[in-house]
Amino acid sequence: MSTQFLNVFLGEQYTRHLFLGTKTNMTKRKQLYEGKAKVIFEGPEAGTLVQYFKDDATAFNAQKKDVIKGKGVLNNYISEHIMTAVGDLGIPGHFIARLNDREQLIRKLEIIPIEVVVRNVAAGSICSRLGLDEGTTLNNTLVEFCLKDDSLGDPIIAPEHIFTFGWTTKDELEIIVEDTLRINDFLTGLFLGIGVRLIDFKLEFGRLYHDQDAADDNVIMLADEISPDNCRLWDAQTNEKMDKDRFRRDLGGLVEAYQEIANRLGIKIPDLDS
């Protein structure tokens, strides 16, 4: 997104403030939340946030942890690329602009506490849960929901739980599933075009309120990130893993794999050693 656009969106003084950040360092902003992979800061204007991509890697509900130099920068650039392409399809999303190597300006949403998992091929938790061999092609795309709650281990839930506990309305869940399936179709093609199989991925959505007093006057938006941290991506020729399973399974070469995804998508990544 151009500086000119941001000037119109945020006002010139904010745009100048935003770009004062150094290449990879956090700028001085009020921290609102620190998660496992990102930090959320107050944005320059009401209704905006800044999300900072850390190098921290976690797996198995944060029981396994490490810091992998360069991962945050790669995810920032890859997620910018994918979120922009998904936005171009007409699916509303929180992404406004990448500010620097580690930070994005996003719209502040009320996050829906559900992880939407899409599976095209069996891998990860579904294999142990249902006794499937990794790599089994599913008869149809499977959409699963997990409650976003680390203290409970993000348990799998049914739509009935979502409605019973009021996490979304039926209309909202319909929009979420429709957007999710469109994103899956689009990303499957995007990745196949660069010789990569999209095995599964996780999405998060939130609500943007136009008017805080009118609770039903809201828009469902895609939130968080789409990167090799929350997708399973296998090389189409060799089935080599090019995603966070390299860390989960101690395979090594995570940065090289993420860099390869970026290269194939035509994304120019800055020198990760500088």
**Where along the sequence are the contacts to ligand ADP (CB under 6 A)?**
35-38, 40, 49, 94, 106-109, 111, 204, 206, 223-224
**56 is a contact residue toward ligand UDP (CB under 6 A):** no
Return the residue of 15, 180, 230, 259 that touches ligand UDP, per CB under 6 A: 230
Return the residue of 6, 117, 173, 222 that touches ligand UDP, per CB under 6 A: 117
Among ligand UDP, ligand ADP, none, what does residue 35 contact (CB within 5–8 Å per kind)?
Answer: ligand ADP
What count of residues does the chain have? 274
Residue nearest to ligand UDP (CB): 124
Number of other residues whose CB lies within 10 A of the CB of residue 252? 10
**253 is a contact residue toward ligand UDP (CB under 6 A):** no
> CB 124 → ligand UDP: shortest distance, Å?
2
Tell me the site size for ligand UDP, rule CB under 6 A: 13
* Alpha helices (runs of H) in 146-233, residue ranges in sequence order: 159-164, 170-192
> CB 34 → ligand ADP: shortest distance, Å?
7
CA 198/CA 186 separation, integer angstroms: 10
* Alpha helices (runs of H) in 95-169, residue ranges in sequence order: 125-130, 159-164
**202 is a contact residue toward ligand UDP (CB under 6 A):** yes
CA 113/CA 155 separation, integer angstroms: 12
> CB 47 → ligand UDP: shortest distance, Å?
26
Among ligand UDP, ligand ADP, none, what does residue 204 contact (CB within 5–8 Å per kind)?
Answer: ligand ADP
CA 65/CA 58 separation, integer angstroms: 4
Stretch that binds ligand UDP, among 93-101, 159-167, 185-193, 197-205 (CB under 6 A): 197-205
Identify whether the C-beta of residue 191 lies closer than 8 Å to the C-beta of residue 81: no
> CB 215 → ligand UDP: shortest distance, Å?
28
Burial class (CB within 10 angstroms; exposed 0-12, middle 13-18, buried 19+) of 191: buried
Taking alpha carbons only, the member of 130, 159, 154, 166 closest to residue 143 is 159
In the block, residue with structure tokens 């795309």: 141
Stretch that binds ligand UDP, among 17-25, 45-53, 91-99, 229-237 (CB under 6 A): 229-237
Among ligand ADP, ligand UDP, none, what does residue 260 contact (CB within 5–8 Å per kind)?
Answer: none
DSSP 8-state code for residue 194:
T
**37 is a contact residue toward ligand UDP (CB under 6 A):** no
Q: Which helix (H) or strand (E) holds 85?
A: helix 71-88
Q: What does the longest C-alpha to C-alpha distance in the chain come to?
A: 57
Among ligand ADP, ligand UDP, none, what does residue 232 contact (CB within 5–8 Å per kind)?
Answer: ligand UDP
CA 257/CA 241 separation, integer angstroms: 8
Residues engaged in binding ligand UDP (CB under 6 A): 115, 117, 124-126, 154, 200-202, 230-232, 244
